[in-house]
Amino acid sequence: MENTRIERDSMGEVAVPAERLWGAQTQRSLMNFPIGWEKMPAAIIRAFALLKKAAAQANLALKPDKMSVEKAEAITAACDKILSGELPDEFPLVVWQTGSGTQSNMNVNEVVANCGNAIAGKRILHPNDDVNMSQSSNDTFPTAMHIAAATAVKEELIPAVDVLIATLKRLEAENEGIVKSGRTHLQDAVPVSFSQEISGWRGMLEADKAQLEQAFTGLCNLAIGGTAVGTGLNACAGFGDKVAELLSAETGLPFVSNPNKFHALTSLDRMVFAHGAMKALAADMMKIANDVRWLASGPRCGLGEITIPENEPGSSIMPGKVNPTQCESITMIAAQVMGNDATVGFAASQGNFQLNVFLPVTAYNFLQSARLLTDGILSFDKRCVSGIKANREKMKENLYRSLMLVTSLNPYIGYDNAAKVAKKAYKENLSLKEACVQLGFLSAEEFDQIFHPEELV
Omega within 30 of 0 (cis) for the link into 319? no
Please give the radius of gyration of the chain, using alpha carbons only, rounded to the nearest integer: 30
Q: Residue 92, SS3? A: coil
Helix/strand/coil for 186: coil
For helices 359-383 and 42-62, angle between their N-to-C axes, nearest 10 degrees: 120
Burial of 330 (0-12, 13-18, 19+ CB in 10 A): buried
Q: Which residues pair with 9 in a beta bridge?
A: 12
Give me the active site residues, please.
185, 315
- Which SS3 state, helix, strand or coil, does residue 444 take? helix
Residues 404 and 410: their CA atoms lie apart, in Å, by: 11
Residue 190 CA from chain centroid, whole number: 35
User: What is the residue type of 222?
Assistant: L
Rounded Cα–Cα distance for residues 384 and 368 (Å): 23
**Do β-strands 389-390 and 306-307 pair in parallel, antiparallel, or remain unpaired?**
antiparallel
Are the beta carbons of 457 and 195 closer than 8 angstroms? no
**CB proximity list for 375: less than 8 A, separation 6 or greater:** 160
Strands, E, within 194-336: which ranges? 221-222, 256-257, 306-307
Measure the CA–CA gap between 209 and 214, rounded to whole angstroms.
9
| Mode of pairing for the β-strands spanning 12-17 and 4-9 | antiparallel
Nearest-5° Cα angle at 272, 270 to 277: 95
- Residue 446: how many other CB atoms lie within 10 Å: 14
C-alpha 313/C-alpha 103 separation (Å) is 47
Whether the Cβ atoms of residue 148 and residue 43 lie closer than 8 Å to each other: yes
CA 216 to mean position of chain CA atoms: 12
Cα angle value 445/448/453 (rounded, 5°)? 170
- Backbone φ and ψ for 14, nearest 5 degrees, come out as -140, 135
3-state SS, residue 7: strand
Residue 298, phi-psi category: left (phi > 0), alpha (psi -120 to 50), beta (remainder) = left
